[in-house]
C-alpha cells in the first residue's frame, strides 16, 4: 500500500499491486488494472518510487505463517521442534 494525495488535498492509500501504469499529462494519472483512473498531486517519479519501495519492502517481509504463528516458525535456519509437520510420532 502506498500513501498518495488527491488533487483536492485528500490523502488516501492505494494498493500498489493494482497499478497498471502512470502518466504525466501534466497532472499525474494512475490507471488501475480495473481501468479506473485516479489523478494525484504526486509526480510520476514519486509514484514510481513509492511503488518500487513497496515492492522491495514486500519481498523482505517475513512470511505470514512465521509472523502470525511463531510456534511453527524457523529458528537459526531450522524448523522449530514444535512444528506439527515434523511430528513423525503422531501416526505411529
DSSP string, 54-85: HHHHHHHSPPHHHHH-GGGSEETTEE-TT-GG
Residue 64, C-alpha cell as written in the block: 505470514
Closest CA to 14 of 40, 25, 24, 35: 40
Break the chain into its structural domains and give their ranges.
2-82
2-5 and 37-40 beta bridge pairing: unpaired
pLDDT tens for the chain, 92 residues long, are: 999 999 999 999 999 999 999 999 999 999 999 999 999 999 999 999 999 999 988 877 665 555 555 555 555 555 555 544 444 454 44
Amino acid at each position: 500500500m502506498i500513501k498518495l494525495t488527491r488533487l483536492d488535498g485528500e490523502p488516501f492509500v492505494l494498493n500498489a499491486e493494482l497499478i497498471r501504469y502512470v502518466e504525466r499529462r501534466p497532472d499525474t494519472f494512475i490507471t488501475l488494472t480495473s481501468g479506473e483512473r485516479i489523478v494525484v498531486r504526486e509526480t510520476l517519479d514519486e509514484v514510481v518510487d513509492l511503488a518500487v519501495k513497496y515492492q522491495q519492502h514486500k519481498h523482505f517481509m517475513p512470511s505470514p505463517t512465521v509472523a502470525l504463528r511463531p510456534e511453527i516458525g524457523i529458528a537459526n535456519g531450522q524448523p522449530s521442534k514444535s512444528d506439527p509437520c515434523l511430528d513423525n510420532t503422531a501416526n505411529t
